[in-house]
Structure 1
Amino acid sequence: MQRVAALPNYDSKPSALEDFWRALRPRLAIAGLQGLPERLSWPTELLAHWRDPALLLGQTCGYPLVTELAGQVRVVGSLLHDAPGCEGVRNRSQLVVRSEDPATSIEQLRGRTVAYNGSDSQSGYNALRSLVAPLADDGRFFGRSIETGRHRSSAEAVRDGRADIASIDCISLAGFRRYLPDSVRGLRVLCETDDFAGLPLVTSLQTDDATLALLRRALAATIADPANASTCAALLLIGFEPLEYAAYSKHMTMRDDAFALGCRSL
């Protein structure tokens, strides 16, 4: 069977992700895995991709993991990054506003316009909803919301004045600052959300225990190998942590607590 591998979520520098796969792939091949792709896939239909029985290694968001993908994939673990807002396997979303915005706290954004990448996003939506839910009136905090489709577009919406605030994955934001600085020109971080487990690497439900263990060993070894230091530095990568599905339970707690306060949407 031809296997599938993709790491599409942090794509500020796609060439570095391809370099990482080229470093990881030989370790898997030497261990006897067959059907390894030469290159990463760049899927556009993500749910279908994550549910593909041929998926060897993919990356999803923690919120769809515990909602739409519950019981349909196996969790491999999470990559660790060196970026503001990261602490080990725990990440935070960073809320960006324009530099000239006088707001000094999230409370001062009441009634204004928020941009978000998608309602299925942990960093762009669920974590932000959890933050503002205790401040909401009749379930509403923001006056208007704009769905943009991706974190970069949310940042650009704030930059261009079409929105006043956006919640950006801290690793994405660090990547934008390094590789796509125009997308975050004139923005500053107002505050951060509560922390949560970083993006899960996943594999098909059909992946056996031996292959799962191999993936975890190979990921850790690839990142630790000094020969890959420049590639990992380009991706802000500093480690890998094996995780199980239960590590993402806080995502549902965030949602349920917001719902209990009557805040079901942004």
Structure 2
Amino acid sequence: MNPVPWVAALPMYNVSPSLEACWREWLADVLHVVEPAARIVESDSGLDALWRRDDLLLSQTCGYPLTHELRDIVQLVATPCFDAPGCDGPYYSSALVTHADASFATLENFRGSTVAFNQTDSNSGFNVLRHAVAPLARGGRFFGSSLQTGSHIASLQAVAERRADLAAIDCVTMAFVCDERPALAQAVKQIEWTEASPGLPLIASKAVPAERIAELRSALKEALAMRPERARRLRLKGFATLSMDDYAHITQLENEAIESGYARLA
């Protein structure tokens, strides 16, 4: 048994305060089934610190950190299946978006423009976009400039405000923005989808016993069925159990871009 109470947090899709409260309520129901003493915590000290906690019972990360720095630190619990355009079961794509009245029609039209991305360790905001652009790059370059924003919402705002011309937005985030922040959604338009890859996984510390992982998987489904209207608000349809071999596709996309001579968004 863990000598201190387990902790949990779902930091990834909180695009509005009310949606964050809904996620927190659903997480509380999951924990009540598995470990009522577990605490829901904030990620004030940073996501990387949260994901590395030995007492982490349940959280969500991006597939890129999972396949890189977290590979030997956490274990997979499940991958959510979302009801959102661009999702196919536990797999998702990113929407390539530009400002609503832009003349850009295809990715190739963005040569020499400004690209916004959330961060370099993001699969949906950086890795899949790099892979999409790589065949178009010349001498390792395609864009005129790039802007690191820190989040998908900030990237959307940069595009909406014309500080950037293009961004790749996780399709689940994009669906929640349409639900929760329609004005921002209407300020941009989509031109293409990126290649699909495994969605954002739910993870646990490797200190969590195997039987507790099984209990978590059961509790995820139980909390989902508990309130169907909440599941619809969260766009949750169910959960899949993927392996690290499935997530290796993310590394494959990275390697293909790098091997073609396009290692960064430039």
Cα 1:92/1:264, change in 2 over 3 Å: same
CA distance in 1, matches of 2:146, 2:163: 10
- Spell out structure 1 runs of 4+ moving beyond 4 A: none
State yes or no: 1:23 paired with 2:29.
Answer: yes
C-alpha distance after superposition, 1:91-135 (max 9, x if no partner): 000011112111211010111000000000000000000001011
Let me know the Cα RMSD of the aligned residues: 1.2
CA distance in 2, matches of 1:149, 1:183: 17
CA shift for structure 1 position 40: 4.7
Give the match for residue 216 of structure 2: 215
State yes or no: 1:101 paired with 2:102.
Answer: yes
Does the 8 Å contact 1:78/1:240 carry over to 2? Answer: yes
Does the 8 Å contact 2:76/2:203 carry over to 1? Answer: yes
Give the match for residue 243 of structure 1: 242
State yes or no: 1:163 paired with 2:164.
Answer: yes
Give the match for residue 6 of structure 1: 9
The residue type equivalent to 1:258 in the other structure is A
Does the 8 Å contact 1:64/1:120 carry over to 2? Answer: yes
What are structure 2's unaligned runs of at least 5 residues? none
Cα 1:117/1:68, change in 2 over 3 Å: same
Per the normalisation by structure 2, the TM-score is 0.94
Q: How many residues end up aligned between the 2 structures?
A: 259
Per the normalisation by structure 1, the TM-score is 0.94
CA shift for structure 1 position 255: 0.5
CA distance in 2, matches of 1:43, 1:17: 17
TM alignment of 1:94-173, pairs within 5 A: 94-173=95-174
C-alpha distance after superposition, 1:29-64 (max 9, x if no partner): xxxx36312x45344411111010000001000001
Does the 8 Å contact 2:94/2:171 carry over to 1? Answer: yes
- State the percentage of identical aligned residues: 36
What are structure 1's unaligned runs of at least 5 residues? none
CA distance in 2, matches of 1:230, 1:43: 30
CA distance in 2, matches of 1:218, 1:40: 19
Q: Which secondary structure state, in structure 2, belongs to the residue aligned with residue 76 of structure 1?
A: strand
The residue type equivalent to 1:240 in the other structure is F
